[in-house]
Amino acid sequence: MFDFSTQLASSLLPNPIVTASGCAGSGKELAQFFPLQELGAIVTKSIMLNPRSGRATPRMAETPSGMLNSIGLQGPGIDHFLENDIPWLQSQDARIIVSIAGETVDDYGVLARRVRALSNVVGVEVNISCPNVENRGMVFSCHPDTARAAIENVRRNIGGDLPILAKLSPDVTDIVAIAREVMDAGADGLALINTVLGMVIDINTMKPKLAQKTGGLSGPAIRPIAVRAIYQVHAALPKAPIIGMGGVASGSDALELVLAGASAISVGTATFGNPTAVIKVRDELQELLIQRGFDNFSDAVGFAHRLGS
């Protein structure tokens, strides 16, 4: 019997496939297509302290094998989220990874305290890397000191053993250095990678297609960047569990990230093209691992590092 379970720090998930933050709505949108319990976990949209309108439209531009988005963290704020979204997810018996995003280091601490003791929550993703913020200097994960400060504040406020997963941006010179910094600051694991900052210009209007000019690139176009980032970080920090993401749309895509060192896989943009993509990826990945003679999922994690090359 193949063992598909995976260990994310102190949390054991029955399978390693999870949604990606901001790509599964509140969960209700996808529940018509499959039971949310089927997922390793659902990762919520990044929730902030206050309601947020997000950015003006156009917010999206399709690109070759990818898309740019500049949603800008539209969401209802933590109060509404705790009153509505969380109880509903709990009623579905879903395992939940709550993603939090702050405007300040203090926000992260307050948010961590609000979500630390909820049933069914198996982890907190600390989004310190959303590219769609007004001030690029505010992307916490682009600087070792701000990345550290945000994670330290979450660590101080969470107590207990609920896994803290730091979500990092690939838009840095040395992602390993940032990964070391946040692990040292008290993170239990990493989420790699957030979208890559990009831009599209409409040659008819001769202006940027997105209202706010830049957006985050996602989809298969960025998969090699994700594989590289996961591989580099796993090589340097082999004990840090990684949720890998970036353009996964099939089981073979997921396997690539697993071999690079991911202990779990988020499916994000693929859900936009196919509401059941997450389930397809899960089933295909299991089949591929069995075909390759693995008895359990964990043995495949980071396997590409073991070939002595």
CB of 270 to another protein, least distance (A): 8
Tell me how far apart the alpha carbons of residues 280 and 288 are, in angstroms, rounded to a whole number. Answer: 12
Residues 238-297 that bind another protein (CB under 8 A): 249, 269-276
Alpha-carbon distances, residue 213 vs 30, 56, 150, 197, 198 (angstroms): 30, 11, 27, 11, 9
Q: Which of residues 55-114 bind another protein (CB under 8 A)?
A: 55-60, 62, 64-67, 69, 71, 74-77, 88
Q: At its nearest, how many Å lie between another protein and the CB of residue 301?
A: 27
> Minimal distance in Å, beta carbon 159 to another protein?
30
> Would you say 66 or 131 has its CB closer to another protein?
66
Q: Of 184, 188, 214, 275, which Cα lies nearest the Cα of 63?
A: 214
**Please, which residue, 56 or 177, has the CB nearer to another protein?**
56
- Of the pair 44, 263, the CB lying nearest another protein is at 44
Could you tell me if 157 and 112 are in contact, meaning their C-beta atoms sit under 8 angstroms apart? yes
Residues in the chain: 309
Residue with Cβ nearer another protein (11 or 132) = 132
* Binding footprint of another protein, residue count (CB under 8 A): 46
By beta-carbon proximity to another protein, the closer residue of 33 and 303 is: 33
- Helix (H) or strand (E) holding 152, with range, is helix 144-158
List 54, 110, 138, 214, residue binding another protein (CB under 8 A)? 54
Residue 182's φ and ψ, nearest 5 degrees, are -75, -30
The residue range among 19-27, 100-108, 154-162, 196-204 that interacts with another protein, by the rule CB under 8 A, is 19-27
Judge whether 19 and 96 are in contact, CB under 8 Å.
Answer: no
Choice from 52, 155, 167, 282 touching another protein (CB under 8 A): 52
Nearer to another protein, 69 or 127 (CB): 69
- In 10 A of CB 285, how many CB atoms? 26
| Shortest distance (Å) from residue 19 CB to another protein | 9
**Contact stretch for another protein (CB under 8 A) within 44-52, 93-101, 169-177, 254-262:** 44-52
Question: How far apart (Å, rounded) are the C-alpha atoms in residues 60 and 34?
Answer: 26
Exposed e or buried b per residue across 74-87, where buried means at least 16 C-beta atoms within 10 angstroms of its C-beta? ebbebeebeeebbe
Only one of the segments 23-31, 120-128, 136-144, 258-266 lies at the binding site for another protein (rule: CB under 8 A); that segment is 23-31
* Cβ proximity of 284 and 43 under 8 Å: no
Tokens read off for 169: 């941006």
Q: Out of 7, 14, 33, 280, which residue is the one contacting another protein (CB under 8 A)?
A: 33
> Which of 83, 88, 76, 78 minimizes the C-alpha distance to 30?
88
Give the residue numbers marked as catalytic. Answer: 130
What does the alpha-carbon distance between residue 118 and residue 232 come to, in Å, rounded to a whole number? 34
Considering the rule CB under 8 A, would residue 224 count as an interface residue with another protein? no
Partners of 100 in the beta sheet? 47, 126
Site string for another protein, 165-204 (x = CB under 8 A): ----------------------------------------
CA 283 to chain centre: 20
Shorter beta-carbon distance to another protein: residue 222 or 230: 222
Cβ atoms within 10 Å of 119's Cβ, excluding its own: 8
Residues found near another protein in the complex (CB under 8 A): 22-25, 27-33, 50-60, 62, 64-67, 69, 71, 74-77, 88, 211, 219-220, 249, 269-276
